[in-house]
Amino acid sequence: MTLNRQSTPGADTKAPTRPRLFDKHGIDNYILHGSKAKVDERVDIGYDEKSGYVYWLPNAKTPPFSCKIEDPAKGSKLGGLKSFTEYKIHAQISNGRVVSRRYKQFEWLHEQLVNKFRFICVPPLPGKQIAGRFENEFIEERRRQLELWLNRICHHPVLCASFPVQHFVTCELTEKNNKDWKAGKRKSEKDELREAAWLHCVTHTQSNLTEAQIATQIDAFAQQQPGLETHLKNLNQGLIKYLERHAEIYKPDMQRLGELFSKVFIALQTDTSTSGNQELSLSVSKISASFQGIAELYKTKGSESVRNFNERIQEYIGLLACFPLILNIQRNASECIKSVQQRGPTATPDFSGAIHRGQVFNYVVLAEINFFQKDKVNDLNLYLKSLLHEQIQFYENITVELRAAAATFD
C-alpha cells in the first residue's frame, strides 16, 4: 500500500461478513457471497504472457466502433410546447442506421453505463445548458463534445458491446414509434448484472502474475493518476485563459493595428502630388487589411485549434476523474481479501470462491487501467500532433497575410 492509499484504521477488526458502511458498491458482499444474478452476457480479460500485459478482450460479436454525430436540428413535441435539439447518430457498424437522439437520451445512456459498470471509466457527459441552448455556436460545441463522448464509449471493448450502448445507437425512435425504445429502456433498467454483480460475467485468462505483481501495477498507476489529473486540469485552465486572451486581447490587438494603419492610409492618400505616394498609400492599406486578416485568423484557426485540443484534454480529465472511485473500491476489496486470507479457509463459507472473485476484480481494475494507459499514449500523441500542426498552419497563414502586404512593395 502506498501513502496515497492508506487503509482505513480499524477496518480489519470488523467482521468481514457484514458489508462495511462504505461498501456502497457491494464489493465486499460480492467477494464473500457472489451473486445470484442470471449471467446472460460475457466479458473476457486476456493476458499477454510475453509482456505481462492484462487487457480487455474485445467482444467477438460486437467489437469497438466509431460514431458520427451530425446535423443537430431543432425538434419539438406536444405541438411545439416543448422544443429540443435532436442529433443524428451514425454508428459505423454493419447493421448501423442513422438514429435521432436528444440530450436527455444521452443522459439516460450515461446513467445506465455508470450504474452497470462501476469499475470502468464512464466519462461525464458534456454539461447540460439551459440558457442559450439553441444558439448555433453552442449546438455545434455540444455536437462535437457529445461525439467525443460517444466515441469514447463505443471504443471501449466492454462498454461498446453492452446492451444500453447497442440500444442507444441502433433503436429507431420517433414521436409516433417509441415502443421498441421503451422496451429496451425497461430491459436495461431491470438488468441485474450491475455494480459488483456485473463481475459475475467476467472471465479472465490464467496468467503467471502473482497477486503482489498485480497490486504493484495497480499501485503504480494509483500513484501517477493524481499528478496527471492535476496537471491536465491546470493545462486545461491555462488553455481556457489563453483562449479568452484570443478573444479579448490577441484578436482585438490585431484589429486595432489594422484600424490604425487604415487611418494612416487615409491620411497618406490625401497627398496626390508626391511621386510614389499613391503606391505607398495602397501598400499601407494592404497592411491594414493584412492585420484585419490576422485578427480573423486568431478568431478562427488560432482559437479553434486550441479549443479542439482543449476539449480533448477536458474529456481526458473526465476520464481520469473516474479512477479515484475505482481505486478506492479496489483498496477496500484488497482489505477484504486480505482479511479473508488471514482468517483462513474455515472462517469464510465460500473461501475459494471469495479468493477467486477478489482476483477477478483485481484483473478488471488492471485491465481498465491498462486500457486507459494505452489509449492515453495513442490519444495524447494524436491530440498534440494535431495541435502542433494546426498551430503551425495558423502561424503560416499569418505569414501569408504579411507576405501579401510585403509583395505590394516589390
Q: How far is the CB of 293 from a copy of itself (least distance, A)?
A: 13
Which CB sits closer to a copy of itself, 360 or 380? 380
Q: How far is the CB of 81 from a copy of itself (least distance, A)?
A: 47
Q: How far is the CB of 276 from a copy of itself (least distance, A)?
A: 4
Q: How far is the CB of 172 from a copy of itself (least distance, A)?
A: 41
Q: How far is the CB of 263 from a copy of itself (least distance, A)?
A: 4
Query: Which helix (H) or strand (E) covers residue 277, if one does?
Result: helix 277-297
Q: For 128, what's the count of Cα atoms within 13 Å in the CB-facing half-sphere?
A: 10
Nearest Cα to Cα of residue 153 among 378, 387, 375: 375
Using DSSP, state whether 351 is helix, strand or coil.
helix
What letter does residue 135 receive in the DSSP assignment? -
Q: Using an 8 Å Cβ cutoff, are 55 and 371 in contact?
A: yes
Q: Phi and psi of 38, rounded to 5°? A: -70, 130
Q: How far is the CB of 206 from a copy of itself (least distance, A)?
A: 21
Q: How far is the CB of 135 from a copy of itself (least distance, A)?
A: 28
How far, in Å, CA of 264 to CA of 285, rounded?
8
Which CB sits closer to a copy of itself, 73 or 220? 220
- In this structure, which amino acid lies at residue 89? I
Q: How far is the CB of 286 from a copy of itself (least distance, A)?
A: 10
The total number of residues shown for the chain amounts to: 410
Which CB sits closer to a copy of itself, 189 or 248? 248
What letter does residue 195 receive in the DSSP assignment? G
Q: How far is the CB of 388 from a copy of itself (least distance, A)?
A: 4
Which CB sits closer to a copy of itself, 161 or 366? 366
Q: For 12, what's the count of Cα atoms within 13 Å in the CB-facing half-sphere?
A: 12
Q: How far is the CB of 356 from a copy of itself (least distance, A)?
A: 26
Which CB sits closer to a copy of itself, 119 or 309? 309
Angle at 233 between CA 232 and CA 236, to 5 degrees: 85
Contact footprint for a copy of itself (CB under 8 A) = 51, 217, 220-221, 223-224, 227-228, 230-232, 234-235, 238-239, 242, 245, 249-250, 253, 256-257, 260-261, 263-264, 266-268, 270-271, 273-277, 280, 283-284, 287, 370, 373-374, 376-378, 380-381, 384-385, 388-389, 391-392, 395-396, 398-399, 402-403, 405-406, 409
How far, in Å, CA of 91 to CA of 96, rounded?
5
DSSP β-ladder status, 67-77 and 98-102: unpaired
Which CB sits closer to a copy of itself, 77 or 374? 374
Which CB sits closer to a copy of itself, 66 or 399? 399
Which CB sits closer to a copy of itself, 182 or 403? 403
Using DSSP, state whether 55 is helix, strand or coil.
strand
Q: Using an 8 Å Cβ cutoff, are 46 and 205 in contact?
A: yes
In the beta sheet, which residues pair with residue 88? Answer: 70, 100
Which CB sits closer to a copy of itself, 120 or 387? 387
How far, in Å, CA of 217 to CA of 298, rounded?
44
Which CB sits closer to a copy of itself, 39 or 384? 384
Nearest Cα to Cα of residue 332 among 25, 3, 47: 25
In the beta sheet, which residues pair with residue 70? Answer: 88
Cell representation of residue 346? 474455515
